Amino acid sequence: MRNEKELLELINVHLDPPAAEIKRKQNVSVSIKQENLIQALSFLKSHSYQHLSTISCVDWLDEGEFELVYHLFSYDDYINISLKTRIKREPGVFQTAKEIWPVAEFYERDIHEFFGVEFKGNDNLEEMILENWQHLPPMRKDFDTRKFVNDNYEWRDYNGQKHTD
Amino acid sequence: MNNNFVKGSWQEILDWAQNKSINMLHYCTGCGAIELPPTMTSRYDMSRFGIGPAATPRQADMLLVTGYLSTKTLRRLIYTYEQMQAPKFVVGFGSCTINGGMYWDSYNTIKQLDKYLPVEIYIAGCMPRPEAILDGLLKLKKMINNGEADGYKRYEENLEFYHQNQEAVLGEVQRTQ
Amino acid sequence: MDKSTQTEIFFGPNHPGVPGNYGINYNFEGDTVTAAEANAGHLHRGFEKLMEERIWIKNTALVPRICVEEPDINEMVYAMGFEAIGEIEVPRRADYIRSIILELARIQGHIFSIGGNAAGIGQYTIMNWGTLTRDYILDIFEEITGARVYHIYIRPGGVRQDIEAETFAKILDLMNELENERFPDLEKTLFENPNAQKRWQGKAVITKEEAIEMGATGPVLRANGVPHDLRKMMPYAAYDDVEFEVPTGDNGDAWDRIKIARDDMLQSIKIIRQLINKIPDGPVQTDLGNGLKYRIPKGDAYVKIESKRGEYGYYMVSDGSLKPYRVHVRGASTPLGLYGVREYLPGTRIADVPVWAKSLGICPPEFDR
Amino acid sequence: MIDIIYRIGHFILITLFTTALGLLFMGIARKIVARIQKRYGPPFYQPYLDVLKLFGKDAITHGFIFDFGAVMALGGVIATLFFIPLGSWQLYSMEGTVLLIIYFLAVASLGMAMGTVGSGNPQASVGISRALTQMLGYELPYLVILFSLIYRYQTSSVWGLMQAQSGSFLNWNLFAYPLMALVAFVVLIGMMGKKPFDAMIAPAEIGSGPVVESGGKYLGMLLLQKSITIIIELALYVNLFLGGADNIFSFSFKMLIVWILATMFGSLFPRFRIEDGVKFFWKWPLGIAILQALYIII
């Protein structure tokens, strides 16, 4: 049973993160260089952080980067770690975490579908949610859903009044 | 003349039987499906109006489109509709089927169901209460009894229009019976 | 394996046995499933995209629609994420009311899923009774919030309006009725029914190691004797003020999970009674100014709470503007519905596939989003 | 000549009557189940409307075998009607033996099996294989019962078995051999495919099994077949264990009582998996039936 401070210490000693902070009670956020991330995941997994909640992806368009966030939880410490790393938006390639958590395969597939990030080592990246999608991956910031809808669907006509936000 | 009269009366009898016995296809296309169990079970019990669930498209008369339709579901819905046997009726359920509703700016849901399938009646609301559902279904029954629910005929007549719209959103659509 | 002896079946999306608009394509040989693949995505509406397009307060109307089985959970997580990034304190009374709403939602969700599980094995009587019982809770919701299913009641900074004392009395009456009349009926017809035991015992087993490995939480994990519950582990709302137990099982099978649902409801009743007895006076929301101009500073937060099926989490990012920059939803059944189907469904008999899908509480909209 | 016309008329009358009665029973069952589920339920005449509607609908055929299967299923049960005494109302039932009826009932199942093969739907195939497996399950205890009855009364004709119980109601096999009647009741539930022995149509598992591809008039035909089948099976039970009846009305009444009991029993149980169902039949009903048979023989 560690508390947040002891956990940060452990991370600082072993993983050499550029930034690590206690966000709230029981919530820790750690930034990791992308080349260290896979190693950090397996390190934390062997230190009781066995539960991978999910993998989130954030598109930072202005900075030209994707941010991948791995949310881990420990059933011993009751602490949630958000492990963040940034990768270049172009070409948007990263390592898979499938070897550490098999279930990550599907989270990566989801991110690939909605952001277009490639995960090296994960060969199961086909379309899962969408069907016959020909455009930009929809969750990217430069995909404009309203324009897409205006181009592809017709609005119902209410006596000439258009639908507005 | 006489023959037509007999034919007409027979059709009226069939319409009457149809309005008294409607089998609803059990296909939860969207979140409106959560209000169907209360409507079907003890509290509101739509079986007293002769409306019951059917397990497969072949046995069903009514396709209840419960809420928003993603394009992926629309494809299955079209296959399902084409598998059903005439007379068949489509009921649009919830605001999302009318004009996109809450998801008006979503890239993956269709905005007007009646462009893709012939809709007999819409039940508005997000989501409609069981009372509203029952009211809508009773109206549908009345329409069937009067012979006004002719969506399947409209579908046959305007096949090109519907197919065009379907293919505009979905790309290629398989046409099988 | 020899393909010629296998048959492929599309179990869903249009099939009475699936939980919602979700498909499982499986191959079977004889009567046993040999390979399975989830066919998800039929409910994709692009929620996360839509939320980026709307201002903070408008999203409160959008979030409950992510999982229709338990909408209040979504409202709560969203509000918690907002408050965590903005470092907003919520009045204590609002915390209590939130917990009461969440527990009522938990009871309605559980009783609905018990009904659904019973329907999966052909026990329609229980499905009818269960749905009827759930409707009584929906009536309470209607009185409090004005809506049956989507309440939009828990919002950033508190709850929308206060609950009257008479309504509390009504809730307590309903709890007594549930405990003394409805649940004994269920107990006799379903839980003491040898046939139901036969259908559920030893079926759809997910062991503790498998559950932790794929990140399944809630009843799936607790059915293996592990009392992990976020209400205890990371208390939110008013759960640190109440006493309750976390029901567990021993075998990790469908029967244990369904019994956990039943015991969970009894615990929820206990929690609601304590909360109503202890509820403090005071305001029910923090003043956040004009609703159309909510702004919170730059930042991000991963918040999670215990839904009836396990961990429900949102990762929210704010860039300081009027709209959220990114919201990512982690539904409770995501790992089971996508990964679990492929790994753990093969080997099941065809007759047990609906038992498998329903007892694991797979809710497709939360991973289709 | 007149005799033949008389027979044909009689036969048509019986067919119509049993169909109507079977549909009525189905309507009553739906009402009873609804009341147990705290619902109002559909009107008792709902099955008539269903049949009328189904015959008015379009239907899609899946080839000759599919059509032939549906006709064979319906024809099989109608042929069985020849040989079953309905109260005093009977056609060839003097000659008909119990075994003939059991044999004829299998024809209906085989007809359905042919239909499903024609449709080519895997769920239908699973359903029909379950139905035939279940038949294997319940026919074994049923045959043991029948043979012990035949041994006891030294006749295999249904009419004879019915006559043997005449006189006081204490002569009914229900009271003479209550255990056997109980076993036969469980078997009856299995034969009629009511819960908990309805694995072959389980909607949640395999659509609706054998009828998954049937719509319109095919479903209507199968509904009629079902309605006649339940009457035959109930009639067999009433003849064997409730002493038959002098006239058709009291006979129908007895059938109704058995039907209501079976319905109520069914609505309380979830369905068995098929292997559990067969195991159950081969364990309790078969065991009790054999014990009873030994008792009778010794």
User: Quick one: average pLDDT of D267-283?
Assistant: 85
CB contact under 8 Å between B56 and D219, yes or no, is: no
Cβ of D287 under 8 Å from any chain B Cβ? no
Residue D24: the pLDDT is: 92
Substitution target in C21, C230, C329, C338 with the highest count of A β-carbons within 10 Å is C338
Cβ of D214 under 8 Å from any chain B Cβ? yes
Nearest-by-CA chain B residue for A137 = B107
Q: Is the dihedral of CA D128, D132, D133, D139 positive or negative?
A: positive
CB contact under 8 Å between D198 and C122, yes or no, is: yes
ipTM: 0.85
Q: In B, which residues are within 8 Å of C69 by CB distance?
A: 34
Nearest-by-CA chain B residue for C53 = B105
- The count of structural domains within chain D is 1
Cα separation, D242 vs D149, in Å, equals: 13
* Segment D244-261, tens digit of pLDDT: 777 888 888 888 999 999
Is the pLDDT confidence value at A5 over 60?
A: yes
Instruction: Using CB atoms, pick whichever of D39, D202, D273 lies closest to residue C128.
Output: D39
Cβ of D267 under 8 Å from any chain B Cβ? no
| Higher per-residue confidence, B65 vs B174 | B65
Q: In D, which residues are within 8 Å of C13 by CB distance?
A: none
Token pair of C97 as six digits: 């009311």
Q: Where are the domains of chain C?
A: 71-294
Cβ of B165 under 8 Å from any chain A Cβ? no
Could you tell me which residues are beta bridge partners of residue A56? A69
Q: Do the two chains A and D touch, given a threshold of 8 Å on CB pairs and at least 3 pairs?
A: no
Residue A22: the pLDDT is: 81
What is the DSSP code (8-state) at residue C21?
Answer: S
Nearest-by-CA chain C residue for A57 = C328
Cβ of C13 under 8 Å from any chain A Cβ? no
Please identify, in words, the CATH class of the domain defined by C71-294. Answer: mainly alpha
Cα separation, A94 vs A112, in Å, equals: 11
Q: In A, which residues are within 8 Å of B119 by CB distance?
A: none
Cα separation, C55 vs C322, in Å, equals: 5
Instruction: Using CB atoms, pick whichever of B42, B56, B85 lies closest to residue D216.
Output: B85
CATH 3.30.460.80 fits A4-152, yes or no: yes
Lowest mean pLDDT among B70-79, C242-251, D172-181: D172-181
Tally C-beta pairs within 8 A across B and C.
Answer: 85
Highest mean predicted confidence (pLDDT) among C100-109, D119-128, D170-179, D194-203:
C100-109
Q: Residue C239: CB partners within 8 Å, gap ≥ 6?
A: C99, C231, C232, C271
CB contact under 8 Å between A131 and B106, yes or no, is: no
Cβ of B126 under 8 Å from any chain C Cβ? yes
Cβ of D215 under 8 Å from any chain B Cβ? yes
Is the pLDDT confidence value at D21 over 60?
A: yes
Residue C346: the pLDDT is: 87
User: Quick one: average pLDDT of A26-47?
Assistant: 85
Provide the 3-class DSSP secondary structure of residue C206: coil
CB contact under 8 Å between B102 and C61, yes or no, is: yes
Sorting pLDDT into bands at 50, 70 and 90, what band is A162? low
What is the DSSP code (8-state) at residue C285?
Answer: B
Q: In what order do the strands lie in the sheet with C324-330?
A: C299-307, C310-318, C324-330
Substitution target in A25, A80, A100 with the highest count of C β-carbons within 10 Å is A80
What is the DSSP code (8-state) at residue D86?
Answer: B
Residue of C225, C239, C288, C233 whose CA lies nearest to C106: C239
Is the pLDDT confidence value at B146 over 70?
A: yes
Query: From first to last of its 369 residues, what are the pLDDT tens digits of chain C?
Result: 455 677 777 887 877 777 778 888 888 887 888 888 888 888 888 888 888 888 888 888 888 888 888 888 888 999 988 888 888 888 888 889 999 999 999 999 899 888 888 888 888 888 888 888 888 999 998 888 888 888 888 888 888 888 888 888 889 999 998 888 888 888 888 888 888 888 888 888 888 888 888 888 888 888 888 888 888 888 888 888 888 888 888 888 888 888 898 898 999 999 999 999 888 888 888 888 787 888 888 888 899 888 888 888 899 998 888 888 988 988 888 888 888 888 888 888 888 888 888 888 888 888 887
CB contact under 8 Å between A138 and B169, yes or no, is: no
Is the pLDDT confidence value at B124 over 80?
A: yes
Residue A33: the pLDDT is: 84
CB contact under 8 Å between C149 and B25, yes or no, is: no
Q: Residue C255: CB partners within 8 Å, gap ≥ 6?
A: C197, C200, C201, C202, C203, C249
Sorting pLDDT into bands at 50, 70 and 90, what band is D92? low
Q: Are strands C23-29 and C7-11 parallel, antiparallel or unpaired?
A: antiparallel
Token pair of A89 as six digits: 């938006």
Q: Which domains does chain B have, with CATH numbers?
A: 58-177 (3.40.50.12280)
* Segment C12-53, tens digit of pLDDT: 787 777 777 888 888 888 788 888 888 888 888 888 888 888
- DSSP secondary structure string, A18-80? SEEEEEETTEEEEE--GGGHHHHHHHHHHTT--EEEEEEEEEETTTTEEEEEEEEE-TTT--E
Instruction: Using CB atoms, pick whichever of B99, B106, B107 lies closest to residue A163.
Output: B99
CB contact under 8 Å between C234 and A26, yes or no, is: yes
CB contact under 8 Å between C129 and D37, yes or no, is: yes
CA of C335 vs chain A CAs: smallest distance (Å): 7
Instruction: Using CB atoms, pick whichever of B57, B72, B102 lies closest to residue C42.
Output: B72
Token pair of B41 as six digits: 């079970």
Provide the 3-class DSSP secondary structure of residue C9: strand
Cβ of B170 under 8 Å from any chain A Cβ? yes
**Other chains touching C, judged by 3 or more CB pairs under 8 Å:** A, B, D
Token pair of A32 as six digits: 């990791």
Report in angstroms the alpha-carbon separations of B58 from B45, B77, C305: 24, 13, 43
CB contact under 8 Å between A75 and C315, yes or no, is: no
Q: In C, which residues are within 8 Å of D199 by CB distance?
A: 351
Residue of C32, C31, C12 whose CA lies nearest to C22: C12
Sorting pLDDT into bands at 50, 70 and 90, what band is A160? low
CA of C94 vs chain D CAs: smallest distance (Å): 38
Token pair of B66 as six digits: 């419960």
Token pair of D67 as six digits: 């059509």
Q: In C, which residues are within 8 Å of A50 by CB distance?
A: 212-213
Sorting pLDDT into bands at 50, 70 and 90, what band is D83? confident
What is the longest distance spanned by two Cα atoms in chain A? 68
> Which residue range forms the structural domain that includes residue D58?
2-297
CB contact under 8 Å between A153 and B110, yes or no, is: yes
CA of A117 vs chain B CAs: smallest distance (Å): 20
Nearest-by-CA chain D residue for C196 = D270
**pTM of the complete model beyond 0.80:** yes
CB contact under 8 Å between C43 and B70, yes or no, is: yes
Token pair of C246 as six digits: 């976390």
User: Quick one: average pLDDT of D212-223?
Assistant: 83
Cβ of D61 under 8 Å from any chain B Cβ? no
CB contact under 8 Å between A54 and C212, yes or no, is: no
Q: Residue B35: CB partners within 8 Å, gap ≥ 6?
A: B127, B128, B129, B130, B133, C148, C149
CA of B119 vs chain D CAs: smallest distance (Å): 19
Sorting pLDDT into bands at 50, 70 and 90, what band is B148? confident
Nearest-by-CA chain B residue for D203 = B55
Cβ of D133 under 8 Å from any chain C Cβ? no
Instruction: Using CB atoms, pick whichever of C53, C84, C368 lies closest to residue A145.
Output: C53
